[in-house]
A and B are shown apart, each in its own frame.
Chain A
């Protein structure tokens, strides 16, 4: 298979949301054919430039997926399937990109705060962030303040995402922000919050940088931040 054919096939399978050969796609009849994992591996074996794979196969196809989602052709499972494809491809490409001197879009530490086990929204955001080219450190659920602060420090995170679904646990977010300030970490990290009981007002009140009603809004805000000087 030529380089251009391989790159096109990877892009096609990202749009189809097929991580592995056994996956079905958006269109019927694709099961059993090589998918993103197999094709990216093959591309790397053929010494295709990882930057080309990143730019021509992954980034462009995710833009197509985004357009389809906006037009209601795709629903969230389709979008997540494509994002997961990109995430898997990024895992395979990461060592090669580092060697080529390509930096990720940023390090994003994400956690559901202490006392709270809800994680669907957080997990969706993790998949979408990875699919968008961010380096994601997912700390999981019921994460103590110390673990969050340590992770921000250890990974030199540019972004911190805090999630809570309970009115009783959302106050924990304020404590985390206060401690970030106390430890001198606040100026280097932008704090995003989300979860059903939170709101824009609450974000302002506790000193967060942004409230995200869902993963898609988080990505939009990240794009805005990237654009601003």
Chain B
């Protein structure tokens, strides 16, 4: 398919469910899709389902028009089987493309959400109340509303995070000049102009979809070039859980699929409120929703590139907010990864979110707990993995830098073992050699592995005394990364984009001179 792409990390997947259990869940999802079926608020989708053999009738209920759709199992199975099992997510730089293949559990990590808040970190000196000679640096946090400038800054930083494989706009742009109509073009341009990795986002307005595609075509080098190297892709949460197809999102699905660009069919029910909290019920329902969404894509256009997008979460039972970083989150999500593999569709999965509002021990626990588990599951495309705090409500660049270090270590940990006959022969030879020496030290023989990168480095932000300077060290590292130039688009390309695409903020263009 392609030879040059990001390597991610190849894992031997941890499987929680047996084959029998997968088949049970598959059948349960098909049963749900048959009865009670889904509540479809989009007429085009309802008619398309009907044309292909679904039982469809208009619901007799007040409010928006709604059709009930009862899917025959065969329709869903046949449609899902037509979805490609292998697809490429393109990038401005060919070496940053992603290859998603259901036969190969290659794991990629990237950003996610569209947080309203950018969390800034400043270090301040604090003096001990007991001993005025003792000073420590303590981080203070400030919440700032997201803007195009901050989204540009996030993309630029993410370009430099070596373990970040793709960029989903992590920040909602809220400049005064941003409107419903120009939201999409500005968020895509701010991203594409500052990062050479794959860029993905949901659509705010269907009306601006063609402008986004035009922009991507100009940057990729034409219509055909964009389809061959889709530097952008889209996320559609077509289901409002439980089991309701949203009218305007369904229209977006039609447009995106017809454009030939890749699409994530994402569903995010909350166990305990919009889905059962029990693993079996949650997974059966979210799987039903995703299968129905994928069925829609394949009925619109057979072979449409689509990802199985699973974002199942659990409700906190004290306030019914989302609860990430808990055991059930991993259970739900690992099951979904296995189901995606069962259907041979690349999986868009989730990890790295928590309730913590600031970087620190709680954030570290919640993130590591899900990052590690989800990576071992062999999910292809793990979003939410960088910088998110306060569930998905804030994006903290410092946290993204900390997550980069954590994900780097996880990728290292999950590297395939190097055990061949040659390796074992070399090892035995080394042992003999060292044991024949007076000192019996293997240190000298660590060099080759050390210099080739086979041996990991200590935690990047460690301190060797009794003070915790992780945040201080990470901030210094972030400052160094941010001092690097942004990988801006060629000025001619920018001019072309500005000529063809309405609604772009002038400030985003002049920001080119910043670096």
Which residues of chain A are near B446, meaning CB under 8 Å?
77
Residues in A with CB closer than 8 Å to B450 are 75, 77
> Is the Cβ of A81 less than 8 Å from the Cβ of B438?
no
A24 interface residue per 8 A CB criterion: yes
Residues from 68 to 86 in A contacting B, C-beta threshold 8 Å = 75-78, 80-81, 84
Within 8 Å of chain B (Cβ to Cβ): is A124? yes
A126 contact set on B, CB distance < 8 A: 438-439
Contact residue range for chain B?
10 to 19
With a cutoff of 8 Å between Cβ atoms, the chain A residues found around residue B451 in the complex are 26, 28
Docked complex: A98-131 residues within 8 A CB-CB of B:
119-120, 123-124, 126-127
Chain A interface category by residue count: 10 to 19
B448 near A: Cβ within 8 Å? yes
- Contact between B447 and A78, CB atoms less than 8 A apart: yes
Interface assignment of A214: CB less than 8 Å from any CB of chain B: no
A128 CB to nearest B CB, Å: 10
Q: How far is the CA of A42 from the CA of B143 in the complex (A)?
A: 70
Docked pose: A127 CA to B443 CA in angstroms: 11
From residue B476, how far is it (CB to closest CB) to chain A in Å? 16
| Interface residues as binary, B421-457 with A (CB distance below 8 Å gives 1, 0 otherwise) | 0000000000000000011110111111011000000
Within 8 Å of chain B (Cβ to Cβ): is A138? Answer: yes
A17 within 8 A of B: yes
Q: Are A138 and B438 in contact (CB under 8 A)?
A: yes
Q: Which of A24, A80, A119 contacts B443 (CB 8 A)?
A: A80
Q: Which of A47-101 contact B (CB under 8 A)?
A: 75-78, 80-81, 84
Interface centre among B439, B441, B448, B450 (most CB of A within 10 A): B439
- Which of B438, B439, B440, B447 interacts with A77 by CB under 8 Å? B447
Query: Once the chains bind, are A17 and B438 in contact (CB under 8 Å)?
Result: no
Chain B residues contacting A26 (CB-CB under 8 Å) are 447, 451
Contact (Cβ within 8 A) A80 B448: no
Partner of A123, one of B441, B445, B448: B441
Closest to B447 in A: A77
Closest CB in chain A relative to B212 CB, distance in Å: 46
Instruction: Convert B172-215 into 0s and 1s, putting 1 for each residue whose CB lies closer than 8 angstroms to a CB of A.
Output: 00000000000000000000000000000000000000000000
Known contacts A26-B451, A77-B450: A123-B440 contact under CB 8 Å: yes
Question: A81 and B444: CB pair below 8 A?
Answer: yes
Residues on A with beta carbons closer than 8 Å to the beta carbon of B441: 80, 120, 123-124, 127
Question: In the assembly, what is the distance between CA of A76 and CA of B440, in Å?
Answer: 16
CA A81 to CA B441, docked complex, whole Å: 10
> Which residues does chain A contribute within 8 Å of B445, judged by CB atoms?
77
The distance from the CB of B239 to the nearest CB of chain A, in whole angstroms, is 53
Q: Give the chain B neighbours of A75 by CB distance below 8 A.
A: 450
B289 to chain A, nearest CB (A): 52
Min distance, Cβ B448 to any Cβ of chain A, angstroms? 5
Q: How far is the CA of A81 from the CA of B439 in the complex (A)?
A: 12
Report whether B439 and A123 are in contact in the complex, using a CB–CB cutoff of 8 Å.
Answer: yes
Q: In the complex the two chains form, is A24's CB within 8 Å of B448's CB? A: yes
For the complex formed, measure the closest distance between the CB of B113 and the CB atoms of chain A, giving whole angstroms: 38
How close is A165's CB to chain B, nearest CB, in angstroms? 15
A81 engages B440 (CB within 8 Å): no
Q: In the complex, are the beta carbons of A127 and B447 less than 8 A apart?
A: no
Q: How far is the CB of A178 from chain B (nearest CB, A)?
A: 29
Nearest CB of chain A from residue B120's CB, rounded to whole Å:
31
A17 to B443: give the CA distance in the assembly, Å: 12
Cβ A17 vs Cβ B444 within 8 A? yes
- A84 and B445 CA atoms in complex are apart in Å by 12
Nearest Cβ on chain A to B253's Cβ, whole angstroms:
51
Nearest CB on B from A76, distance (A): 6
Give the docked Cα–Cα distance between A77 and B444 (Å). Answer: 5
Interface residues of A (CB under 8 A from B): 17, 19, 24, 26, 28, 75-78, 80-81, 84, 119-120, 123-124, 126-127, 138
Can you list 19 residue pairs at the A/B interface with Cβ under 8 Å?
Answer: A17-B447, A19-B444, A28-B451, A75-B450, A77-B443, A77-B444, A77-B447, A77-B450, A78-B447, A80-B444, A81-B443, A84-B444, A120-B441, A123-B439, A123-B441, A124-B443, A126-B439, A138-B438, A138-B439
B binding-site residues for A, Cβ under 8 Å: 438-441, 443-448, 450-451
A-B pairs, top 5 by smallest CB distance, nearest first, are A123-B439, A81-B444, A77-B443, A77-B446, A80-B443
